Amino acid sequence: MPRTLLLKNATLVATLDDDQGEIADGAVLITDNRISAVGATADLPHSADEVIDLRGHVVIPGLVNTHHHMFQSLTRALPAAQNAELFDWLSALFPVWGNITPEMMTASATTSMAELVLSGCTTAADHAYLYVNGSRLEDNLEAAHAVGLRYHGVRGAITLGRSQGGLPPDQVVEQDEDAVLKEMQRVVETHHQRADDAMIQVALGPSSPFTVTPDLMRQSALLARDLGVLMHTHTAENSKDLAFSQERYGMTPAQFAEHTGWVGEDVWHAHCVHLDDHGIDLFGRTGTGVAHCPCSNMRLASGIAPIRKMLDHGVKVGLGVDGTASNDGNDLLGEARQAMLVARVRHEDPTAMSAREALWLATRGGARVLGRDHAIGRLAPGYCADLIAFDLNDIAYAGGQIDPLASLLFSAPRRVSYSFINGRKVVDRGRLATVDLPRLVENHNRLSRQLIGA
């Protein structure tokens, strides 16, 4: 028999549908893992197998994280990398990451996912490009199953070592690109789910122009399209990134992307802080997506991406927290707030991005970038039951009751009160229901100290 769950009496239900519906005294009815009805509490059934009274809460779709490196949570705030730009930051961290074990991969991914879920994230794309000491993407899939997060695992790669003109030290790269392509194919064929409600999907993701060869970029694009999966990489992240592309390839990052087959509806690029007008037009024309990571871009002094211009040119844009050693948090609601604020700073215009537009990027925008706008990112009948609720009685929202939806961003973000992913209650009254959080943190800190030799 189908199982039903009724969420009722919410102060506000924001659907993020095409009409941007906002329902006072709203309710959501869930049947198994799908939303079956959304509306006013008075208009929906009054009974279900489980009923939760959300009086005093705002309900919105689950947030979608389009770019992350979860293994980096083991090296947050590392002193040698605290005050460095991207290339120096990577150079300080690569030797440390070279000692990561499969156990550390699973622990760091579990910690990152748990923190994401508590911030309101229900779907996350993890650009996993480091494979040392026997690590595999399966280490992260284990974490996704444990936490209950909807997971897009990007089987990435770094293959261009320092001796060949790349940035990473040779000991952390995968030397055999043919073997990399075979492993990418294996992971897709073994784990990628194609159903609308898929909990696990796989994309292919050579890391960047300064960590892989153009041949791997081209060959992985051909493989991804042959397998019918998405493609993800880093592009135009900072000034040194631009200089590398010009000096080594005689192209801008956008030209390099086009040259290697990395534009189209099935592609999304992280950062794009320095994407030029040609690149913005190219991405808009071809349906290429962008993962905007404002906190990381500011932390590494990379700059502020021209998101307003991208949106005005039809570029698909979602949000990403980026690596947990360059943010150094896993707070997706906080990322949405930062996206709103930096857009205003870049343009010196308080209308450059509204709170509702930032929430749209964090939900609908991310779903579009990941090719899931038909299944997640909004509250509507038939969509996956991925939704979150915030308690307006928290002190952070005191005085913000006139517009509680905007208050989620203008006020300091807080943990969700409830999170449902694929119809499953993952956060219950502010408590993570799937993993033992204190034990997780204790184990994570033990492994972090072991990794950095503290």
Q: How confident is the model over 159-213, as pLDDT tens digits?
A: 999 999 999 999 999 999 999 999 999 999 999 999 999 999 999 999 999 999 9
- Rounded to 10°, the helix 102-118/138-147 angle is 40
Backbone angles phi, psi at 442, to 5 degrees: -60, -45
Q: Is residue 454 predicted with pLDDT exceeding 80? A: no
Q: Is residue 355 predicted with pLDDT exceeding 90? A: yes
Specify the residue for token string 């770094």. 158
Residue 450's pLDDT band, with cuts at 50, 70 and 90, is very high
Mean pLDDT score of the chain? 97
Amino acid at 49: D
pLDDT digits over 63-115, tens only? 999 999 999 999 999 999 999 999 999 999 999 999 999 999 999 999 999 99
Distances (CA, A) of 17 to 21, 145, 438: 6, 29, 37
Locate CATH 2.30.40.10 in the chain: 4-62+377-432
User: Between 3.30.1490.20, 1.10.3720.10, 2.30.40.10, 1.10.357.10, what CATH number should domain 4-62+377-432 receive?
Assistant: 2.30.40.10
CA separation for the pair 409, 359 (Å, rounded): 8
Residue 311's pLDDT band, with cuts at 50, 70 and 90, is very high
CB 184 within 8 A of CB 131: no
Locate CATH 3.20.20.140 in the chain: 63-369
User: How many Cα atoms sit within 13 Å of 428 on the Cβ side?
Assistant: 8
Q: Which residues contact 341 (CB under 8 A, 6 or more apart)?
A: none
Q: Is residue 19 predicted with pLDDT exceeding 90? A: no
Q: Which residues contact 58 (CB under 8 A, 6 or more apart)?
A: 10, 11, 12, 13, 14, 389, 390, 392, 404, 405, 408
CATH class (in words) of the domain with range 63-369 = alpha beta
CB 68 within 8 A of CB 112: yes
Amino acid at 115: E
Residue 398's pLDDT band, with cuts at 50, 70 and 90, is very high
Bridge partners (DSSP) of residue 71 are none
pLDDT digits over 410-430, tens only? 998 789 999 999 999 999 999
